[in-house]
Amino acid sequence: DAGVIQSPRHEVTEMGQEVTLRCKPISGHNSLFWYRQTMMRGLELLIYFNNNVPIDDSGMPEDRFSAKMPNASFSTLKIQPSEPRDSAVYFCASSLSHEQFFGPGTRLTVL
């Protein structure tokens, strides 16, 4: 298996622009997690899905953030409008049980 795939690996954008991060989970996994990692706050869970249904989005910072999972093999995390404080590494992870498998991450820089 190719593992969790994320794109893009790097994104540089200007404040106010829309950013879309993409994730393809491991085939057969039924849970998908979006995390954000910064030096100051460490690894934070933003939202997670089970069987394509959002279960807990309490970690989403504010309404500028939204996530979708239209099918079992694809999820997006969108930030609109983006702000400099959104700069971070965003990880997607998938699991079938408790063992989560992480993608390589998207490093987002908002200027």
Residues that bind another protein (CB under 8 A): 4, 31, 33, 42-43, 45, 48, 50, 55-56, 91, 93, 95-105
Q: Which is nearer to another protein, 82 or 94 (CB)?
A: 94
List beta partners, residue 20.
78
Which residue in the block uniquely carries the two structure tokens 């249904």? 53
Q: Residue 43 Cβ, how far from another protein at the closest point, in Å? A: 5
Nearest approach in angstroms of CB 62 to another protein is 21
For residue 70, the minimal CB distance to another protein (Å) is 19
Residue placing its CB nearer to another protein in the complex, 4 or 21: 4
Residues 6+ apart with CB under 8 A from 36: 43, 44, 46, 88, 89, 90, 91
Return d(Cα 33, Cα 100) in angstroms, integer: 9
Contact 91, 37 (CB under 8 A): yes
Given the complex with another protein, which of 15 and 43 has the nearer CB atom? Answer: 43
**Residue 62 or 99: which CB sits closer to another protein?**
99
Residue 45 CB, nearest approach to another protein (Å): 7
CA distance 92 to 24: 8
